[in-house]
Copies of this chain bind each other. A is one copy, B any other.
Amino acid sequence: MEITSRSAQLIAYETIREKIINGAFPGGMKLVEVQLAEEIGVSRTPIREAIRRLEQEGLIKRKKVIKPSEKDLRHMFQMRTLIESHAAKMAATYMSEKRIVQLRSSIHLAQRSNTEGTVKANKEFHDLIVQECRNPIMIETVDKMQSIIYLFSKTVVVHERPLLLEEHMKICDAIEQRKPELASSLMEEHLKADLEFTLNIVE
């Protein structure tokens, strides 16, 4: 069997998404169907569908690439905090030993990687915890917001926040020691610090 050629729609979706994420399409930019169609080499139809999809994902709003305001960011972090602190509580209660090992190794990986690797390992840390809420709706919600937050802090260079790893370690400890309330409130503080840092970078 051959590689099934990706559909025009998928190509369009991935191309546009990529360009938004890596900054080629900056925040606020108006997306015009015919232009994109030419550029990507498909007709307008799949472009439209791709745009709808990205609209749903929150990366496009009324044909414009989103440019989240400080307020938007706060709202997203609030939502994340609600879910992730809940997830941390669940993790402290139910996470398997094996998973905890994985969690700890994501911290170690972050310590000895280059910038890109660190970013990835830190995302892994959060993802592992979020998984423990075992609720697909919550997981998807966090995922969606992470893309947008990432986009936002990516337009600026990726900075590494000083105390980040220490905080991850403390959270990991709390989970390992089966202290749900502690894990939850540590996560809350962690995300709060993250938000403030993100906002400070920008201005």
Q: Write the residues of chain A forming the contact surface with B, with a CB cutoff of 8 angstroms.
A: 48-49, 52-53, 56, 75-76, 78-79, 82-83, 86, 135-138, 141, 145
Contact = CB atoms under 8 A, between A and B. Distances in A.
A137 B82 contact: no
Contact of A78 (B53, B78, B135): B135
24 contacts: A48-B49, A49-B52, A52-B52, A52-B53, A52-B56, A56-B56, A75-B135, A75-B136, A75-B137, A75-B138, A76-B137, A78-B135, A78-B137, A78-B138, A79-B135, A79-B137, A79-B138, A79-B141, A82-B82, A82-B83, A82-B86, A82-B138, A137-B145, A141-B141
Contacts of A82: 82-83, 86, 138
Contacts of A83: 82
A136 B141 CA distance: 14
Copies of the protein in its oligomer: 2
Interface of chain A, helix or strand or loop or mixed?
helix
A141 to B, nearest CB: 7
Nearest to A139: B75
A41 to B, nearest CB: 21
The 10 closest A-B pairs by CB, nearest first: A56-B56, A75-B135, A79-B137, A75-B137, A52-B52, A78-B135, A82-B82, A79-B138, A82-B86, A75-B136
A82 B49 CA distance: 33
Nearest to A81: B86
